[in-house]
Amino acid sequence: MKSLQELAEIRKRAQDNVSLRKENNGKRIVVGMATCGIAAGARPVLLKAVEEVQKRGLANVTVSQTGCIGMCRLEPIVDVFDENGEKVTYVKVTPDMIPRIITEHIVNGQPVQEYTIGHQDAN
């Protein structure tokens, strides 16, 4: 750090990252981050979700984590809540699936059915 301006820029970036994790009245992306989820690859999924939300400038979307969701064999699990609290659960999520979930579900309001618990659990 060489100047006050550089410090201010670092502070702004940190605040932007924190604001993604604050509760708001918009949509929420919640990633299961218990030991089973982490072992199955949830950390890269969470990081990809944060990255995609930031890249697209989606101010009304919160990305957060939770503990055990209770379906370890289907981890990594991502719940997406809309503004009304309606939930769609995505299972066996990989980082490569996140851009499609963001585009189709978060931005366009159409859940990606083939990634959901009803579809995946049948397989």
Angle at CA of residue 81, ends 59 and 70, nearest 5°: 130
Q: Which residue has the higher pLDDT, 75 or 118?
A: 75
Q: Structural domain tally of the chain?
A: 1
**What is the average pLDDT score of the chain?**
86
Which pLDDT does position 26 carry in this prediction? 85
Is 113 part of a structural domain of the chain? yes
Which residue is listed with tokens 């949509």?
A: 27
Supply the pTM of this predicted model.
Answer: 0.77
Tally of CB atoms within 10 A around 8: 10
Q: Which residue has the higher pLDDT, 23 or 107?
A: 107
Domain holding 81: CATH number? Answer: 3.40.30.10
Closest CA to 68 of 96, 49, 40: 40
Upper half-sphere CA count for residue 61 (Cβ side, 13 Å): 22
Is 34 part of a structural domain of the chain? yes
Is 29 part of a structural domain of the chain? yes
Q: Which domain holds residue 74?
A: 24-120
Is 4 part of a structural domain of the chain? no
Is 15 part of a structural domain of the chain? no
58-80: pLDDT as tens digits: 988 999 999 988 889 999 999 99
Beta strand pairing call for 78-81 and 87-90: antiparallel
Is 60 part of a structural domain of the chain? yes
Which pLDDT does position 118 carry in this prediction? 78
